[in-house]
Amino acid sequence: MSLLSDVLASVFTRNARRALPPPDDARSTEALIADLLSSNAEVSGMTTAAQILDRYAGFDDAARIAFFDHLASDLGVDFATTRSALDAFEADPGPRSYGAFLKAAEPARQELARRLNRVPGATPQLVAMRADLLRLIPRQDARARIDLDFRHLFASWFNRGFLVLRRINWESPAQVLEKIIEYEAVHAIDSWDDLRRRVQPTDRRCFAFFHPAMPDEPLIFVEVALTKGIPGSVQRLLAEDRAPLAAEEADTAVFYSISNCQDGLAGISFGNSLIKQVAEDLAAELPDLKTFVTLSPIPLLTRWLQEEGTDPTTLDDAGLRAAAARFLLTAKRADGLPYDPVSRFHLGNGAYVHAVHSGADTSAKGMAESAGAMVNYRYDPETFAENHERFARAQEVVASREVRALLKTPAPA
């Protein structure tokens, strides 16, 4: 019943939105923004906010850049006001002086975003606005600082506590499923039949985080294969003619693909929570699942080997595995973190390097990037915290004994 009402409510709200287009307004966008930020906003704000959003939606890139210019130049922090508010607060640190300081230190564009968000359906539009910002304003540009305001707000709005984990399967709405096809970033889904093979068989699972204000838009999703034993080949894992395993017979859950869906939520990290929540839920549902691993690409292996002067195509299986282990355990960036981005993600989550495989991804992309090598990162609840600690404090890459042993393999002459 509550469910029904929720959805009715949002359906009606959406309709209401569409049915009442804001009246044309001759004022400039800057004037509309000023109006929305004025005290008037409680009463007429919804209409003004809707107008701004509709106008923005119609902007071309140049107009959007001008819009961001306005946010950066005119809706920021006033240095003098902030400084004197800080002084007054330090002199007499009570509620009133603190309030004045908080108000001064927060740029008006944050309040603008909150007021825009009051319009039904605004949240995905604001997320898209940030995606525009990241696309149109270079990172080094001083105006790029306004991204910090979006990011600050979105980190608060998309707090883990507000996200809902949903299973994606063949009963999911087509409009959600087509987004899975669109956003899959690791192993492309090339048709609805391919999609079905990822979500329908008894030994396949897919989970996504959603936000209640964007119910049709997955934020991030993970594809899971249930297996007996830890797999060493993604082609075998995804083989069309594979006989599906009954879920109850699996002992291992393999996170073989994890994809972010929203460019406008870049830097708001959901992956760690997603993997752990899914692992917990699967463990509760299937008590025989004992092992949680990834089957991950090593996207920079070829490049690094070439930089090192090695032609990966000359390596035999043993040589490739040794090279991959050396890469994962020893190749670092200037800041001491692993060279490989996938590695940084999983090690940062507290996983460790469990095994490396040759001949594991024989697709064109897999051969080009890593000569077919892949890696299992293992998520073990018992060692999460310690692994993370060692990685965070000392950039230490934890690996299984087997992988460490590979380091002792003599490098190819």
Residue 37 in contact with a second copy, rule: CB under 8 A? no
Residue 394 in contact with a second copy, rule: CB under 8 A? no
CB of 89 to a second copy, least distance (A): 8
Q: Which of 118, 197, 303, 344 binds a second copy (CB under 8 A)?
A: 118
CA angle 208, 247, 179 (to 5 degrees): 25
> In sequence order, what are the beta bridge partners of 205?
224
Q: Which of 21, 27, 30, 40 binds a second copy (CB under 8 A)?
A: 40
Q: How far apart are CA 74 and CA 274, in angstroms?
A: 38
Q: How far apart are CA 381 and CA 387, in angstroms?
A: 10
Of 54-62, 113-121, 325-333, 358-366, the segment contacting a second copy by CB under 8 A is: 113-121
Residue 5 in contact with a second copy, rule: CB under 8 A? yes
Count of C-beta atoms within a 10 Å radius of residue 91: 8
Q: Is 303 exposed, middle or buried (0-12, 13-18, 19+ CB in 10 A)?
A: middle
Nearest CB to a second copy, comparing residues 24 and 171: 171
Q: For the chain, how long is the longest CA-to-CA vector?
A: 76
Residue window 345-384: x/- pattern of binding to a second copy, with contact defined by CB under 8 A: ---xxx---------------------------------x
Q: Which of 39, 241, 335, 413 binds a second copy (CB under 8 A)?
A: 39
DSSP letter string, 359-392: SS--SHHHHHHHTT-EEEEE--TTTHHHHHHHHH
Q: How far apart are CA 247 and CA 127, in angstroms?
A: 37
User: Which 234-273 positions form the footprint of a second copy (CB under 8 A)?
Assistant: 269, 272-273
CB of 271 to a second copy, least distance (A): 10
CB of 158 to a second copy, least distance (A): 11
Nearest CB to a second copy, comparing residues 161 and 309: 161
Q: How far apart are CA 240 and CA 322, in angstroms?
A: 31
Nearest to 265 by CA among 154, 178, 177, 191: 154
Q: For residues 18 and 62, is the Cβ–Cβ distance under 8 A?
A: no
Q: How far apart are CA 52 and CA 33, in angstroms?
A: 7
Please give the radius of gyration of the chain, using alpha carbons only, rounded to the nearest integer. 25
Q: Which of 42, 54, 182, 307 binds a second copy (CB under 8 A)?
A: 42
CB of 323 to a second copy, least distance (A): 29
Q: Which of 34, 176, 286, 407 binds a second copy (CB under 8 A)?
A: 176
Nearest CB to a second copy, comparing residues 66 and 385: 385
Helix (H, G, I), strand (E, B) or coil at 352: strand
Q: Which of 23, 161, 309, 336 binds a second copy (CB under 8 A)?
A: 161
Nearest to 366 by CA among 320, 309, 307, 318: 320
Q: How far apart are CA 232 and CA 412, in angstroms?
A: 23
User: Which 288-347 positions form the footprint of a second copy (CB under 8 A)?
Assistant: none
Residue 224 in contact with a second copy, rule: CB under 8 A? no
User: Which 7-26 positions form the footprint of a second copy (CB under 8 A)?
Assistant: 7-10, 12-13, 15-16, 19
Of 139-147, 223-231, 236-244, 394-402, the segment contacting a second copy by CB under 8 A is: 139-147
CB of 138 to a second copy, least distance (A): 10
User: Which 72-91 positions form the footprint of a second copy (CB under 8 A)?
Assistant: 77, 79, 82-83, 86, 89-90
Residue 170 in contact with a second copy, rule: CB under 8 A? yes
Residue 62 in contact with a second copy, rule: CB under 8 A? no
